[in-house]
Amino acid sequence: MPCKNCENNPVIKLPNSNIYQCKKCFNKYFEKKVRKTIRMYKLIDKKDIIGVACSGGKDSMTTLYLLGKILKSRNQKIIAITIDEGIDGYRDLTFLKNYCKENNIDLHSFSYKEEFGKTLDTMLKLTKEKPCSICGVFRRYILNTKAKKLGVTKLATGHNLDDEAQTVLMNQFRRNVAASLKLGPITGVIKDERFIRRIKPLYFMTEREVATFAFINNLKDDYKECPNNEESYRCYIRDKLNEIEEKFPGTKHSIITSFLETLPLLRKNYNIKKIKTCKSCSEPCSQEVCQACKLAEKIKLL
Ligand code: SF4
Ligand SMILES: [Zn+2]
Ligand SMILES: [Zn+2]
């Protein structure tokens, strides 16, 4: 089946349709949809300095590439931020470093070793804490504190439609609706300058669309799976959701659309706890001392 628009060889069949598109038409469609998301949800203001949280994978590389292109045309600043957890044989940042160099993007790298004294591998040898629990807390902490220091006003991540649909379902199934308040194309339940707002420009793009975009635009290196990946529940939901999508096309979009319809009501009616200030580092948190400081202290003593 040739491209619907120009009869060239297709690279993808668009989701929920019988439309095939060639590289050129697909790139145009993809960029247009991302621009629309940015516009509709007011993800970027004229004065914003955007930081892109980069792992080097297809999602963050696509985000960096497209935001780089969009912001360049507006004369706005963009920087890349990356974190090396210290997981043996996992993070190879060569591709990202080269990309940033070639495209004149400032890349700021941080590591758990420098920030918390030990690599994640070392921490895991000394504690029984789950890898992703430690990693998630430290990553969020580094991203928020460093982004602020760098003058970043919004932090872009590469979350796509599949990621978000999985998280919405996981939160529902676990009766953890409060966690969904932080979802959506832009975060910010509470207007608090101590939190750098997160934006997700790929919010309405499916995993397959992002993978195709990254592949045809040479934005993908050999990306390895983290050896600590223990998100078996997410993997289960992902597989089930893909099965349902196969049988009932449009399901993922419907999950997201209905979620977005209820999100303003959720945010309005949910009892949001008062945000305190961490006694140790002055970052915002829900208790006296933030999770990162508690964990860091524990790890220091090991
Ligand atoms: S899978 Fe877990 S341990 Fe690995 S990088 Fe992600 S959060 Fe960290
Ligand atoms: Zn075409
Ligand atoms: Zn703290």
Residue nearest atom 5 of ligand 1, based on CA coordinates: 226
What does the pLDDT average to over 92-114? 95
For residue 1, the CA-to-ligand 2 centroid distance in Å is: 11
Number of domains in the chain: 1
Alpha carbon distance 66, 159 (integer Å): 14
**How far lies 134's CA from each of 138, 148, 263, 286, 289, in Å?**
6, 22, 29, 18, 16
Listed in sequence order, the residues at least 6 apart from 160 whose beta carbon sits closer than 8 Å to its beta carbon are: 59, 202, 203, 205, 206, 207, 209, 210
| pLDDT tens profile 152-204 | 999 999 999 999 999 999 999 999 988 899 899 998 766 777 889 999 999 99
Ligand nearest to the Cα of 229, by number: 1
**Nearest ligand to the C-alpha of residue 288?**
3
Residue 25 lies in a domain: no
Per-residue pLDDT of 53-89, as tens digits, reads 999 899 999 999 999 999 998 889 999 999 999 999 8
Residue found by looking up tokens 């009501």 in the block: 265
Query: Within a domain: residue 126?
Result: yes
State pTM to two decimals: 0.93
Q: With respect to residue 281, please indicate whether it lies within any of the assigned structural domains.
A: no
- Does 211 fall in a domain? yes
The proportion of the chain whose per-residue pLDDT surpasses 70, expressed as a percent, equals 96
Residue whose CB lies within 8 A of the most ligand 1 atoms, among 138, 229, 234, 235, for a mutation test: 229
Pairwise CA distance, residues 95 & 5, whole Å: 33
Give the CATH number, domain containing residue 151. 3.40.50.620
User: Does residue 200 sit within a domain?
Assistant: yes
Q: Please answer whether residues 108 and 80 qualify as being in contact, where contact means their C-beta atoms are separated by less than 8 angstroms.
A: yes
Average pLDDT over residues 80-106: 93
Index of the ligand 1 atom closest to the CA of residue 231: 1
**SS3 letters across 182-239:** CCCCECCCCCCCCCCEEECCCCCCCHHHHHHHHHHCCCCCCCCCCCCCCCHHHHHHHH
Q: Considering only CA atoms, which residue is closest to atom 3 of ligand 1?
A: 132
Query: pLDDT tens digit string along 216-253?
Result: 999 976 767 788 886 678 889 999 999 999 999 999 99
Please report whether residue 12 resides in a domain. Answer: no
Token pair for residue 284?
Answer: 């915002």
Residues contacting residue 268 through CB under 8 Å, at least 6 positions apart: none
